Amino acid sequence: MSSAAYPYMPLTDLAVIDITGADAAAFLHGQLTHDVTGLASGQARLSGYCTAKGRLLATLVFWHDNSGGEPRIRALVPDDVADALIKRLSMFVLRAKVSLQRSAAAVGGAMVGAGNAAPEGTLADEAAALPASPAPWATANTPSATWIAAPTSPGAAARWWVVVEEPDLLSPFASCNADDWRVQDISAGLPWIRNATQDLFIPQTLNLDLIDGLSFTKGCYPGQEVVARSHYRGVVKRRTAYGTVAQPGDLATDQLVGTDTYDARQPDNPCGRIINAAQASNGAVHVLMEVQLADLGQADFRAEGPQGPAISVQPLPYEIVVER
């Protein structure tokens, strides 16, 4: 594959956390919403971390990496929640042989066949050995990086998260627009908990049960009883929908996350919240938003206020299940 098929972009809003030690897998297995100990090599996994009340404090992507000679799990997490997540998880280590720390590794994104030529360099050369159409969550290791296949929407370019120990490897690609990557996350229905949305949503509201970010058979973790009760009693009334704002005006995407959405037909009260937002190169704003299932197909969704910019609901690459 030609290296020119890979435009890259530094993803400075993502951090890497290292969970290291003989008990790392067992410890993290008891904390996250998905199975850690059963994850095979060559695979990554989406998961969440909850409060005791089942509200998400973080969403993350984790994988096993023992390249340093000691058992280690690495996790991609939004930068603005990384330190708080480390601090909270550290409270529960107790006597387990585990250490948690923020890694100095840097994260980039590579999109295959997206129509822009990548600069020449080490990563572009190593990318030539990667599969053209990877299965989501597959991992690959090259001499300079770990590559993790990100989910995509139908027809979109294949994508890889690129984790490098030498941040300078990403410097030739600094001119690329990271919002292009975030738009792809949103259109793929991949939600990220940010600082502004911590402790607001249960995992099912963010569709984690629909995108393999949640296991109902793995055993206990903080909030597990609340999450399981919502599932087995069929009381999930709010989900995550994908929407676009074709005429955003002066809408500021960096200030949208965590703000209320409205239904113009019922303007007195908010009907949900913005979970993630990014602006595409054509000016349209793409969002993941919390919605009431009863509103889908009926509400006139608006950002910022009941008379704010209209949000048009778009199809997700997976089906939202209406539980009764």
pLDDT at 103: 97
Predicted pLDDT at 6? 46
Greater model confidence, 38 or 4: 38
Residue 114: its pLDDT value, please?
Answer: 52
Of the segments 77-91, 144-158, 226-240, which one has the largest average pLDDT value? 77-91
Global model pTM greater than 0.75: yes
If one compares 136 and 157, the residue with the highest pLDDT of the two is 136
What pLDDT does 68 receive?
76
Q: What is the CATH T-level fold of the domain 1-176, as seen in this structure?
A: Gyrase A; domain 2 (3.30.1360)
Q: Which residue has the higher pLDDT, 289 or 249?
A: 289
User: pLDDT > 70: what percent of the chain?
Assistant: 92
- How confident is the model at residue 187, as a pLDDT? 97
pLDDT surpassing 70 at residue 115: no
**pLDDT reported for residue 119:** 54
Condensed to tens digits (0 to 9), the pLDDT of residues 205-218 reads 999 999 999 999 99
Q: Where are the domains of the chain?
A: 1-176, 195-314
Q: Model confidence at 4, in pLDDT bands (50, 70, 90)? A: very low
pLDDT at residue 2, as a whole number? 33
> Are residues 27 and 99 in contact, defined by beta-carbon separation less than 8 angstroms?
no
Rounded to whole angstroms, the Cα distance separating 260 from 13 reads 23
Q: Is the pLDDT of residue 5 over 50?
A: no
For the structural domain made of 195-314, what CATH number should be given?
A: 2.40.30.160
